A and B are shown apart, each in its own frame.
Chain A
Amino acid sequence: MRKLTLAAATLALGGAFAPGAFAAEYTIGVSNTVQGNGWREQMICAMRAQALVEPDVSRLIVAHRNTDSAGQLEDLNNLIAAGVDAIVLNPSNPDALNSAINDAIAKGIVVVAVDAGVSAEGAYILSNNQEEYAYLGAKWLFEKLGGSGDVVYMRGIAGVSADTDRDNGFKRALAEFPGINVAHEVFTGWQQDQGKQQIFDFLATGIPFDGVWTSGIDNVIVDAFVESGAPLVPIVGADNAGFVQYLTTVDGFEGAAVTNPGSVGGAGVALAVDILNGNAPNATTVLVDPVLWENATAEGRAVIESAQNPNLDPEWPVSVTIPGWTDYSMEQVIACEGPDA
């Protein structure tokens, strides 16, 4: 009995002194409104994995469902009422959530929007640099073509900010290569079937072209070339698992994948912890720069080989970590377990 009392006292003392003395005990709330999409699921898993490895985070509350802006407001208000120290959200709309975000900021809660921006003042925004994404891929393609030739420009959805940013990056690269000419410009709507039909239609016209830049609708474009028997031209896509696999397996195919990681979610958690610990960045908007993986050189191929993992969900982007931001391992993000699990 005495032993037990002693043990209890030691435990109590340990309990009183251990936390706080070494690490803060932050609770972080997550809000997301699209469930069942590979990119978003990777984002959530990256948030969980990053929270797991952050020594200062003791709890992660995830509100992750398919809903509208009013539903996201409800989730944000619940997270505020749950007493979180920071909220990392993928906003459904830049303007619709301001009432809850302003409430949170007024209560001293750190708010980090990932993937898309919010207009509320005082919120931090962390997203992939979409202009750089397009510039990097377009520049590689134009160099590959020796600075002259005709390209097909396959965009996303007109009016969506990511598409507008990417268009700016593409145009910047185009300005640097006066010998490059856009032979055909289409909006794929970020739909696989639509993009495939569009390239079939263009191949059928017989108008010659030398390369294709896509805004992420990529593996079906390779399929279209293979199925129609047309000679493959260099193609630029995103780091979707299917396209990255083609870069290593399709004979005679030269191309490049530009990373657009869903793991910005993990970077958002890392940023929130930095801000809570008093290391806020100078600007409220932080952009994560993409990386280009090409299969034209031996080094490039080696990078692609090392990035692939058979355990990775085929719907996920292949780049599961962001150097300089995320600290978890690939196994941890695949396990998708947060500090509470």
Chain B
Amino acid sequence: MTGFIQRNAWTLGLLVLFLILLGTTKSMQPDFGVSGLESLARAALPFAFATAGMAVVVIVGGIDLSVASMMAVCSVTAAVLMPSVGGVAGVLVVLALGAAMGAINGGLIVVTKVPDIVVTLAMLFVWEGFALLILSTPGGRVADWLQASTQGSAIFSGLPKALVVIAFISAAIWIPIQRSKLGLSIYATGSDESAAFRSGVPVGRTRVAAYSICGLFCAFGGLSLASLTGIGEPVPGPYLMASVAAVVLGGVVLGGGRGGLLGPIIAVFVLRIIRTILTFAGVDPNVTTIIEGTVMVGVVMLATIVTYQGART
């Protein structure tokens, strides 16, 4: 039990922080209830998938600056395809497209040996251009069931469907991978690439796989954007920096090898609820981003200090 708490101290700490913030929200606005939770989960949806994808590539020791652009490509593809091929086929095509874009990112990094940050920065513009080629202005339409899939509650009132979607999809993708050889290779490559290579880990293939998983999560992110708005938007939203922030806040070490997906996803909810609280408080919008950034740095600093203290004793 103590071992479990120690191993997951960061994630549990974030969960406690989220619950405190939830309590604050409730005390500021006593009406905050089921629909408030549903809105929160819906707002978190695209951020959660962008963050999950980013977390995987950070764990393997890289970074992907093109996540928001890949999400835009996926959302416009869904909105353009679905009226003609239908919802299910549209979703499958988009998921394959996402994984393929991720694999291209990873492949370019491995083959050219150009640093991740440079390759994915270039791909940010490439994918953004593709999104605009597919749909030059916001439009298209997605299947009604896709829109309904993130609205309201599932199983019982108060359990937002969007939260179930996030939990189910990230668990279904990540848990089997984490427990497989590929998962071990991802963590090994992220910890020390040359040591992993000498131990017989196919580091190149592992990196491509990790970027492809990131692309797959971005496809879900793009689908969730389309689900929320009902249309496709070619201009990428603010998901790149937000995902890096949530990854760091979620306890994934930039540099690789450590962390998981649960912490970053809880971090997404923490960041979203801070915005809700600031809206309730009617804080000047120009000050809002300053507070968001300060809270983030503060939490990471505090958590780092606590973790190091814990490690020493």
The residues of A with any CB-CB pair to B shorter than 8 Å are 35, 59-71, 73-75, 77-83, 92-93, 95-99, 103, 159, 340
Contact = CB atoms under 8 A, between A and B. Distances in A.
A81 B30 CA distance: 10
A62 B285 contact: yes
Interface residues of B, number: 34
A35 B229 CA distance: 21
A96 B233 contact: yes
Interface string B225-240: 1001111010111100
A98 B230 contact: yes
Contact of A159 (B31, B137, B280): B137
Contact of A78 (B31, B225, B231, B280): B280
Contacts of B43: 70, 73-74, 77-78
**Candidate in B35, B39, B151 with the most chain A CB atoms within 10 angstroms:** B39
Contacts of A59: 282
Contact of B229 (A67, A81, A96): A96
B235 A68 contact: yes
* Majority-rule SS of B interface residues: helix
Contact of B280 (A73, A82, A92, A99): A82
Contacts, number: 95
Given A70-B225, A80-B35, 16 more contacts: A60-B282, A62-B284, A64-B285, A64-B286, A65-B285, A65-B289, A68-B235, A69-B228, A77-B39, A77-B42, A78-B39, A78-B43, A78-B275, A78-B276, A81-B31, A93-B233
27 contacts: A59-B282, A60-B282, A64-B286, A67-B237, A68-B235, A68-B237, A69-B138, A69-B228, A69-B229, A70-B46, A71-B237, A71-B238, A73-B229, A77-B39, A78-B276, A80-B35, A81-B35, A81-B36, A83-B29, A83-B31, A93-B138, A93-B231, A93-B233, A96-B138, A96-B229, A96-B233, A98-B230
Most buried by A among B43, B137, B280, B285: B285
B197 interface: no
A81 B35 CA distance: 8
B258 interface: no
